[in-house]
Amino acid sequence: MDVGVGHLSDPDDVPGLAHFCEHLLFLGTKQFPKESDYSQFIKSNGGSTNAYTSTSNTCYFFSVGAGHLAGALDRFSGFFHSPLFDPNCTMRELNAVNSEHKKNAQSDLHRIWQLFKGQALPGHPWSKFGTGDMNTLTQAARQLTGANATDESQADGGPVGQETRRRLIEWWESHYCASIMGLSIIGRESLDDLTSMALQRFSAIPNRGLSLPVESIPWGPEQQGNILFAKTVMDVDTLEISFPIGRQDALYRSKPATYLSHFIGHEGAGSLLSYLKNKGWVTQLWSGPQSSARGFAFMKVNVKLTKSGLKEYKSVLEAMYSYLSLLRATSIPEWNFEEFKSLQEIRFRFSQKQSPDSYVVRLSEHLSRPYPRDQLLSAATKVWEQDESLIHDLLENGFAPHAGSVLLSSKDFSSIGLEGPWSHEKWYGTEYIIQRIDPAVLEKAAGPNTISDLFLPRPNEFIPTDLHVDRTDVSEPAKRPILLRRTEASTLWHKKDDQFWLPKGYIGVFIKSPAANCSAKNALMTRFIECLVTDALTEYSYDASLAGLDYSLTFAEDGGLSLQTSGYTDKMLTLLQHLLDKTKNHVIRQDRFDLYKEEIRQAMENAKKREPHSLSHDWMDNCLRDVAWTVFQLLDEIPHVTLQQDALKAQDMVEAELQTRSILPSEEISRTMLLPRGKEYIHNETLTNPKETNNAVEYYLQIPQDSENSQAKLLLLAHLLNEPTFSILRTREQLGYIVTSYSWMQVSVMGMAFRIQSEKPTLFVENRIEQFLSDYKQTLGTMEEKDFEGQRQGLVNRLLEKLDNLDQESSRFMAKILDGTYDFTHREKNARRIEQLTLEEMIEFYDAFIDPASTSRAKLSMHMHSQTKPSAKSNFSVEASKVFLGDLKEAQVPVDEAQYTTLSKAEPSVNAVIGFWTKYLGTLASLSAEKRQQLLERIKEIAELHPVKSVEGSSNGVLKEGTIVVEDLPAFKRSLQMSRPAVSVIDLDAEAR
């Protein structure tokens, strides 16, 4: 369901309200009041849910197993005609929005985007802060009620939360309307049945007679002709020109902005990118219209600068303007448009099937666009006519130099002599300076092109001409590829497309190289080759990519060279031959080597500042893989890699590996490190970004694959845990915005993992995961048989879902070839095994490998710590809990001491403690109001007297008894045994015969 309002429709005094509505909307309806009913139903039946809030629309969507669509729609439809906006969820979702904003606080994508939006005309809604946070969502309520903050001890947030919820309901009632909604449903049922299902369930949505809001262009003369210098968190330098233009979806028949971006963004000979790359100023270029809101768009030309390009940014800018001058002065030949039209027609005609949830989202958004109903599927892609007047108007007026504005982003502007003073953006604190572009630069930009190396693209030789498909009748698609040939040096697998019937194919060439990853330096050298060869292939391969024929060249971390092509088969072998020749015979230039040496260094420095949850997984993966190198180890090697010795040596290594030989057993390096059974470990790392306020925990339980049912049991357990992990640890306990659980299949072993990013101390998060797993033992033990069977069948249905497209099929086969198991039918086999699993078997499995009380489980946690330290006074220490227990006993308050002691170890926030005891003491009729108030006031007093103590090298909290803190991770890794190599499930020798 696409609702035609987004955050540009937020009230001025409640920024983020549309986003808050998205969070609170699907937590219960009048028909299904239980807050988790929707998510439980969807996930237990093999589906997933999500939603997002954009500038002009908010979209809610789900996928669910076939046969459960009606039940899912019953629950989904109520959100749009009878949501509860459960007051008991108000405080939680305010915190969730606030956590989401804090998650994005160090994201350059969000920081630069909001800074760009903030340059709008005064009062224009484009400048609004769409995410919102606790402060913006409650500021109007705080002003009205006179309260300083929400009452965290109350689920509804007290007077401030109640008023914020009232404003939300008021806004929903005036903005959510049937006339601006677009509904898209995909199901196995007939169109008549789907229509009937929609009418029965969605007709109750009130039609308030609203029209879709359409915004005006947010820039005037004062916003045009500016250059904005913005400081970034990551070490990335970019230059972007933005031109405000009218809405483009109404021009779907000719797509003038998209057509012009075909030239501006070209990467072949004569292109702007080719010229700038040869100068050593940029490495990437992107161009295209960005639909920013309903009513307007921005045409953008964006380049990623090198360090020399940053110094020469004015020259880069002049070249960008020069290419626009070239287009203005050139009469574009008719064949260019016909070629563009043909490419768009082929792209639409042979587009691959998307996943159902992605497809319905796209369709629901298109329903609000000015497309004819009979062209709803094709209008966004196809082109029907060339409109010279629109093209001319864009080039002369829309893309005129004075009409645009420039954004230069960098972490450090010292190389161009820009020292400040710096202003600070309101919401993210991004430092920036805004100036007018030098009039002399604009005057020159309005003149003719003076760069002879710039010219229009030549005809594309890769446009497919043979689109014939040799279709044959098959009773059912083959489940696996066949082994055509096997020698000592290579194996050749083949699978004919027997279900999608498109003129497309896939070729993957994978070469295992023991030398590619045997040391940090070798791993770095192979990374150089990957970058340098890809760079050299750009001009040749770009036409192929335009024509739907793509490739990738990557060195996998397990030591493999991967060269893959996919797309139209007509000219695939021609491309592959060129790719192989270039990979083997490429001559490395010193200037390109120096450029990519800096690029790789930048990328690795930036990798150290990724989000904490990503870094926690990186450290876990590094510890568990037998041969792996940290970004710190790779960075140490960069100064020692030279062109004369190392890069050329790496090139020789590639040439040698293209002349393949068999891999010796001793060179088979893909193994997993084995954690000792009955041991539990924690390793701590400090984040390198000093401004990152979030911590993260990756909690991993390793499980042996000691029977054919082991994998099936883990898959079913991960399915059972998925929804309660989210609903309890994220929604109910508010640990953080990012909370996830997943099964992890590795070489000869497997694992169950939990990943949480949170501002709360890592040991607190660890303790809550432990408590959740302890509690789930009882949940599993008391689960009704029919509920278990429903969950089990939901997973079986998901595993047996039909493939969406050829890419999905080839990637699945590729994964099983590369992991060495050749288990092409593992999904079907696991589905059959899962169908036979009993609840008793799952309880036994859980008790052995997951239950925190188990003496046989193997656990490792990675804790990532923010450098910013929260006040110890914000949490209720174990010592404070002991003192307060004495007060409770003295007041003769009944307490379950065992449970009290267990919960105290988590050291919850003071506000949470006050909230709990406010409710509990209020139920005791024997306790006077005066005594009740005295006890509540004592909580803050005791917290001040007995603050949380820091655990050396860790975080606030209590370390579980018996847990081993790993100080030296490399030494710990060396102490572990390795798993056996992967075992093939088929006899390759017999297969080859």
Active site residues: 22
Both structure tokens of 558: 């397990």
If 0-12 CB within 10 Å is exposed, 13-18 middle and 19+ buried, where does residue 703 land?
Answer: buried
Quote the CA–CA distance of 789 and 835 in Å, as a whole number. Answer: 9
Neighbours of 967 (CB within 10 A): 10
- Cα gap 194→723, rounded to integer Å: 28
CA 160 → CA 90, 163, 222, 874, 916, distances in Å?
Answer: 10, 5, 39, 21, 19
Q: In whole angstroms, give the CA distance from residue 55 to residue 398.
A: 22
Alpha-carbon distance of 120 to 605, in angstroms, equals 33
Angle formed by the axes of helices 785-799 and 839-849, to 10°?
80
3-state secondary structure of 563: strand
Q: Which amino acid is at 359?
A: Y
Bridge partners for 434 per DSSP = 228
Q: Report helix, strand or coil for 872.
A: helix
Tokens 């027609």 correspond to 345
Q: Which of 800, 802, 858, 843 is nearest to 979 (CA)?
A: 858
Q: Answer yes or no: are the C-beta atoms of 243 and 404 closer than 8 Å.
A: yes
978 close to 671: Cβ distance less than 8 angstroms: yes
Which residues, including other chains, have CB under 8 Å from residue 507's CB and lie 6 or more apart? Answer: 564, 565, 566, 572, 576
Q: Give the CA angle between residues 578, 583, 585 to the nearest 5°.
A: 90
User: CA-to-CA distance for 631 and 53, rounded, in angstroms?
Assistant: 35
Q: In 3-state terms, what secondary structure has residue 218? A: coil
Number of Cβ within 10 Å of residue 535's Cβ equals 17
Max alpha carbon distance in the chain (Å)? 92
Q: Which SS3 state, helix, strand or coil, does residue 47 take?
A: coil
Hey, what amino acid is at 952? Answer: E
CA distance linking residue 314 with residue 61, whole number of Å: 45
Classified as helix, coil or strand, 297 is strand
Q: Please check whether residue 725 is in contact with residue 739, taking contact to mean a CB–CB distance below 8 angstroms.
A: yes
DSSP symbol at 394:
I
Tell me the CA end-to-end span of the chain in Å, nearest whole number.
54
Q: Which residue, among 635, 794, 624, has the nearest Cα to 700 in the 3D structure?
A: 624
